[in-house]
């Protein structure tokens, strides 16, 4: 109760800026918060038995569809049997499901490696494309791995391209000018991520979910994700899936309008969030990435390597120690988030668009989403709906 009172008192004493709504005020409070102090006393931690924090009474157990995913298929994706998952919801947020790390020990390595080594490659689209040629961004991993491998030896070196990466889009690529997806801006969606997403969606009661578009966020310790709603998909009846890896962060889940104060919660490595139904179109944001209390180190769940032998039909692959050395160096001061969504309803097609709009292509001009506090120049936002 002491931490709760201190946290609420700190928010209450924070002066409201002119024109600032309730969501923006809490976003600013947590962006300025100090880890290890009472500032974070109001943040729900779902990794505790039933969540902790002053609003933990809002935490309820969520029922999963255990029979919808076989133990074998869960294992193929690197997940524990669904019967052993813990899933929670929040009173007042129907359709929101939080699953604390359901991954088998060591299997997060695969998804981290995919985000850094494979998904960042062409033909996928990233924030660096606006300022660099396709040749320069052809293989960010190869250009960056030696920099990252010896990062601790040479701390004054220039940042590698992977460290400059802020977002990557998969599948249907978003047109940041028109705020729409379209049929002619598409590259094949990764089959392993599609399989993982289908299993998680099915476990949450959404059989038949089709992973059609993804946005990968690459956070540095000073990065934030602005307040937004994911509403550009043509079918909102399907859930939005979010997978977190690396350093922890604070996630804010608000209401339909920004004058509703949001609920704060921690996202730790391996955690999965599902936004569906009423919660599918709520405002949300990430005001802060939290550095490890142990200095530059990895979360404990990332210290264990994957088993030497994987299921024969697994979609995950072994990660070499050489590759993991690069991934670990990156994640000691970073966080990666994968969001996956279904764009179209079954048998739905994109509406016909004027020819000129289809020719505009993919651009990041004019939008800012994933920001670094130390930068005085707004960076290209990764979310389409801010």
- The annotated binding site for Fe cation is made up of 228, 230, 284
Q: Which two tokens stand for residue 264?
A: 């704060």
Q: Are 35 and 291 in contact (CB under 8 A)?
A: yes
Q: How many CB atoms lie within 10 A of CB 263?
A: 24
Which element (helix H / strand E) includes 195? helix 191-203
Please check whether residue 231 is in contact with residue 238, taking contact to mean a CB–CB distance below 8 angstroms: no
- Answer for the pair 287, 250: CB distance below 8 angstroms, yes or no: yes
**Chain-centre distance for alpha carbon 14:** 28
Task: Supply the DSSP symbol for 301.
Answer: G
Beta strand spans in the chain (E): 59-61, 88-90, 96-99, 125-126, 167-171, 213-220, 223-228, 240-246, 249-253, 263-267, 272-275, 284-289, 334-341, 370-372
Which of left, alpha, beta for 7 (phi over 0: left; psi -120 to 50: alpha)? alpha
Give binding residues as ranges.
228, 230, 284
Question: 């060591």: which residue's tokens?
Answer: 106
Longest CA pairwise span in the chain (Å): 61
Distance CA 336, CA 229 (A): 20
Residue 347 backbone phi and psi in degrees, to 5: 70, 10
CA distance linking residue 243 with residue 339, whole number of Å: 6
């Amino acid at each position: 109760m002491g931490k709760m009172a201190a946290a609420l008192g700190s928010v209450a004493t924070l002066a409201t800026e002119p024109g600032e709504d309730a969501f923006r005020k809490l976003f600013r409070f947590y962006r300025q918060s100090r880890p290890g102090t009472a500032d974070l006393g109001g943040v729900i931690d779902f990794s505790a038995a039933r969540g902790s924090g002053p609003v933990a009474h809002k935490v309820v157990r969520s029922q999963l569809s255990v029979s919808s995913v076989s133990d074998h298929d869960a294992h193929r994706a690197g997940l524990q049997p669904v019967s052993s998952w813990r899933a929670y919801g929040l009173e007042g947020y129907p359709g929101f499901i939080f699953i604390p790390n359901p991954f088998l020990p060591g299997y997060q390595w695969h998804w981290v490696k995919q985000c850094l080594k494979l998904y960042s490659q062409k033909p996928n689209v990233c924030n660096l494309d606006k300022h660099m040629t396709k040749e320069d961004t052809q293989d960010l991993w190869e250009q960056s791995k030696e920099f990252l491998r010896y990062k601790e030896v040479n701390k004054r070196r220039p940042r590698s391209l992977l460290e400059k990466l802020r977002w990557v889009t998969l599948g249907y690529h978003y047109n940041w000018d028109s705020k729409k997806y379209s049929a002619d801006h598409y590259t094949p969606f990764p089959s392993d991520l599609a399989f993982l997403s289908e299993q998680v969606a099915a476990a949450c009661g959404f059989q038949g979910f089709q992973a059609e578009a993804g946005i990968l966020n690459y956070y540095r310790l000073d990065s934030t994700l602005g307040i937004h709603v994911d509403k550009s998909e043509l079918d909102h009846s399907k859930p939005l899936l979010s997978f977190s890896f690396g350093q922890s962060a604070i996630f804010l889940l608000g209401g339909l309008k920004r004058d509703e104060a949001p609920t704060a919660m921690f996202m730790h490595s391996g955690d999965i969030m599902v936004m569906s139904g009423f919660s599918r179109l709520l405002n949300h944001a990430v005001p802060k990435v939290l550095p490890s209390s142990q200095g530059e180190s990895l979360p404990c769940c990332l210290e264990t390597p994957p088993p030497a032998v994987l299921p024969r039909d697994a979609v995950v692959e072994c990660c070499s120690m050489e590759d993991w050395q690069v991934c670990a160096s990156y994640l000691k001061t970073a966080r990666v988030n994968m969001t996956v969504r279904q764009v179209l309803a079954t048998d739905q097609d994109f509406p016909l668009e004027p020819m000129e709009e289809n020719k505009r292509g993919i651009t990041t001009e004019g939008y800012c989403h994933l920001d670094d506090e130390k930068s005085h120049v707004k960076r290209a936002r990764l979310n389409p709906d801010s």
